[in-house]
Amino acid sequence: MRAVDIIQKKRDNIVLPDDEIKFLLDSYLQGKVPDYQISAFCMAVYFNGMTAGELKTFTEVMMNSGDLIEFPGIKKFLIDKHSTGGVGDKTTISLAPVFASFNIGTAKLSGRGLGHTGGTIDKFESIPGFTFPETKDALISLVNKTGIGIMGYSDKIVPLDKKLYSLRDVTATVPSIPLIASSIMSKKLAVHADGIILDVKVGSGAFMKDIETAGKLAEAMLEIGTGFGRKVVIVLSDMDQPLGNAVGNSNEVLEAVETLSGKGPSDFTELVETLAAIGLMLKGDVPDIDGGKELVWRNLKAGKAHEHLKNFVEACGGDSSFVDDLSLKIAPDVVDVVSDNDGFVNSIETESIGKAAMILGAGRAAKDDVIDHSVGVVLMKKKGSTVKKGDVIAKVYHNNKSKLESVNMIKSAYKISGNKTEPGKIILDIIRNF
């Protein structure tokens, strides 16, 4: 076989047999096919897509390019929840201990933040002394001990995805639905889970800007999951404004803890309740989402998840006292962002809020940037809120006054007018294969 012949077939929209897909990807991983040929192949996929059969084989080769993680001896029902990323998305911090309180285990790989979206790894590392497991055996031990298993992505897990993504990033092929779907699902399938929940963000602060494109991605991922015999639920959730009120690292962790007591922002609480209810439905504890949400709400009001979060933090070497006293370090210098006029908040340019937090030091412009966990933004007004001139619409927590260009970015991100806009629903759609 020759790579050029396979590229030509995909260019001409001819369905590729399994052995040619395997040959091309295996050869690329081994360094026998150069970047420029895989770049051409990815561009052909961008324009012509993949059939269901091609996508399944492509994902399977990706999945098998590195270690596969199983969890021997675990008696819990395991769920892997994945988010496509957004501003203020601290869902795993609340959801994992809620799952644990229902004897549902979390088994997942999480990433660091880059650009305007934060990363779960960075948020947990706001906790003094906290370190993630670095090996498969350590992750298995953590799940067995606490019911919560989270670790950073390893070069040994789906290494082909890392190599392909770096290439797609510089060849304008990142937005390809099949390539996105296989990238996400290969990592989900490489780590054993009894159920997979995918939270696909939609809106100005998300990679998927409109619900039509997000729906196509959801269907592609659902098709892959079905092909591998996995139970998959995909939630399309709103990212036309930041999730919750806190954007940063330490402040997001604290907001997630408050949500475990039923005191979190309404939109974030609704998302956590819904995802947790889906977990209960996947496990078979409830027949539908509404029944699950009732159980979850009672759980939050009773504070049953707190001990599970503390156990996880302590098992990772962290100081868990913040769960009780909300004592994580927050930057001491605060600047109020105030409204220049009366009206209603019609929209918030979410990506701008994320970029403002990044400039403060809460995120990275480059992979090697050092995070300042203490800085961030707290939104005091969200879509639909009434605003008077001089009202504080957001608070900026910072350690460096020279970075206060963030204040202007946040102010510009708010669109305030005399016409009242309803905030909209956080859950846009739910798609499942069972």
Domains of the chain: 3-48 (1.20.970.10), 77-324+428-432 (3.40.1030.10), 333-417 (3.90.1170.30)
The answer to pTM > 0.85 is yes
The residues with which 55 forms a beta bridge, in sequence order, are none
The residues with which 262 forms a beta bridge, in sequence order, are none
Note the pLDDT tens digit of each residue in 360-378. Answer: 999 887 767 889 999 999 9
pLDDT of residue 422: 87
Cα 409 to Cα 177: distance, rounded to the nearest angstrom: 31
392: phi then psi, degrees, rounded to nearest 5: -80, 120
pLDDT of residue 405: 86
Question: Distances in Å between the alpha carbon of 233 and those of 15, 137, 226, 338?
Answer: 28, 28, 11, 41
Burial class of 413 by CB neighbour count within 10 A (0 to 12, 13 to 18, 19+): buried
Note the pLDDT tens digit of each residue in 160-191. Answer: 998 998 899 889 998 899 999 999 999 999 98
Cα 59 to Cα 226: distance, rounded to the nearest angstrom: 13
- 385-401 in b/e form (b: 16+ CB < 10 A) is bebeeebebbbbbbeee
Q: What spatial distance separates the first Cα and last Cα of the chain, rounded to whole Å?
A: 40
Strand residues in 69-164 grouped as ranges (E): 77-83, 104-110, 148-152
Which has the closest alpha carbon to 16: 54, 61, 64, 63? 54
pLDDT of residue 137: 85
pLDDT of residue 30: 96
Q: Residues with catalytic annotation?
A: 82, 161, 168, 183, 187
pLDDT of residue 169: 82
Residue 283 in contact with residue 120, Cβ under 8 Å? no
Q: Which residues contact 329 (CB under 8 A, 6 or more apart)?
A: 126, 250, 373, 374
pLDDT of residue 269: 96
Token pair 């998927």 in the structure block, residue:
208
Going residue by residue through the chain (434 aa), what tens digit of pLDDT does each one get? Answer: 999 999 999 999 999 999 999 999 999 999 999 999 999 999 999 999 999 999 999 999 999 999 998 888 788 899 999 998 889 999 999 999 999 999 999 988 787 766 667 789 999 999 999 999 988 788 888 998 999 999 887 778 899 998 998 899 889 998 899 999 999 999 999 989 999 999 999 998 888 999 999 999 999 999 999 999 999 999 999 999 999 999 999 999 999 999 999 999 999 999 999 999 999 999 999 999 999 999 999 998 888 899 999 999 999 999 999 999 999 999 999 999 999 999 999 999 999 999 999 999 998 877 678 899 999 999 999 999 999 999 999 999 999 876 778 999 999 999 999 998 888 899 999 999 98
The residues with which 106 forms a beta bridge, in sequence order, are 79, 148
348: tokens are 């918030």
Residue 218 in contact with residue 432, Cβ under 8 Å? no
pLDDT of residue 276: 98
348 residue type, one letter: I
